[in-house]
Amino acid sequence: CSVRPAGGASGPAAPVPAGADAGSGGSGGAAGDGVAYCVPPSGGAAGGVRRRSRRRCRGGPGSATETTSGRTVPEGHTIHRLAREHNRLLVGHAVHASSPQGRFVEGAARIDGRVLEKTEAYGKHLFHRYGDVFLHVHLGLYGKFTVGALPAPEPRGALRLRLLADGHWIDLRGPTACELMEPPEVDAVRDRLGPDPLRRDARPDLAFDRLSRSRVAIGALLMDQSVIAGIGNVYRAEILFRHRVEPHRPGRDLPRETWDALWADLVLLMRAGVRAGRIVTTLPADRPRGRLTRDKAHYVYRRAGLPCRICGTEVRTEVMVGRNLFWCPTCQR
């Protein structure tokens, strides 16, 4: 990938293996530091990301997308992290399912006692496979999972679904979707989604084909789940900044080489997000020293009115497709 240095022109692309894992010593990253990058805005290796506890399923700071109402929607890396956790705790075991709230009683009864065969994430959608039936969950604005070791606490509040297996409990509250699906219905959900950067079967060419035929702003297209699955507001703002792309540029004006670099960077950043449980896009050289707090983790996201970390220009914000967009008008021309 290549990222334009502050105040300069784009440099030659530095190759990044499409399947490179974040923190594995890929292009620009230091092994074991938790985040790998393409050529960064001001050079240097990434670092300073700590792994977070797996007890919370909404992820750590910066793991969700902010709406104009101030609420947050978990981004794709959070759902993939959940799929991994549920796989570790439940797959291969008979699961006791119940719906203390009462809104999913019939669905819980159908999977109660069945063995969970597989967990899978696609974009912001989570699937559990129980033989010929799938549990489909979309957290939306209010949904969250909580996890713990048995004995489970007394059910409280709007507890949509409780799963018990192998000494652990998983509770689900407030999801946009919690439903059972047959295989054709699961296929229909997947078919309407764009490629997911966190899936090894992703086909980025499909996303570029959509982008290259559209007059819609790239900042809006990145939020369209039929173009790319799993991207939310944080990744949108940060990936466009890292590659110096003006968010109002029509998708069809994005060069193929820029798209290839952007996609490779998304893969690395989102894989790092899965492992760390948070989104970190800044390099140590571009942020204040000390503990890596939320306000130091991003270049432009939620930094409206503050100076750009690279050039000092005031970061701007506006609403685009119902989300607060952030960008630097100097770096992203």
Q: Which two tokens stand for residue 219?
A: 């900042």
Q: Which of 4, 114, 124, 242 does the annotation list as catalytic?
A: 124
Q: How far apart, in Å, do the first and last CA atoms of the chain sit?
A: 18
Beta-strand relationship, 168-173 and 159-165: antiparallel
> Containing H/E element for 59?
none
Is residue 182 annotated as a catalytic residue, yes or no? no
Distance from C-alpha of 176 to C-alpha of 39, rounded to nearest angstrom: 38
Q: Which two tokens stand for residue 222?
A: 């990145």
Is residue 124 annotated as a catalytic residue, yes or no? yes
- The string over 73-86, giving b where at least 16 C-beta atoms fall within 10 Å of a residue's C-beta and e elsewhere, is bbbbbbbbbbbebb
Task: Provide the sign of the torsion angle of the four alpha carbons 311, 317, 318, 319, taken in this order.
Answer: positive
Beta-strand relationship, 125-130 and 133-138: antiparallel
Cis peptide before 151 (omega within 30 of 0): yes
Q: Which amino acid is at 173?
A: R
CB-CB neighbours of 172 under 10 Å: 24
Q: Are 208 and 284 in contact (CB under 8 A)?
A: no
18: left (phi over 0), alpha (psi -120 to 50) or beta: alpha
Q: Which two tokens stand for residue 214?
A: 């559209």
Q: Which of 4, 40, 41, 74 does the annotation list as catalytic?
A: 74
Mapped onto helix, strand or coil, the DSSP state of residue 265 is: helix
Distance from C-alpha of 300 to C-alpha of 62, rounded to nearest angstrom: 12
Q: What DSSP line would sit under 155-170, residue for residue?
A: P-SSEEEEEEETTEEE
- Give me the residue label for tokens 């140590």: 284
Q: Which two tokens stand for residue 30?
A: 């230091």
Is residue 323 annotated as a catalytic residue, yes or no? yes
Q: Which of 4, 40, 75, 271 does the annotation list as catalytic?
A: 75
Residue positions annotated with a catalytic role: 74-75, 124, 323
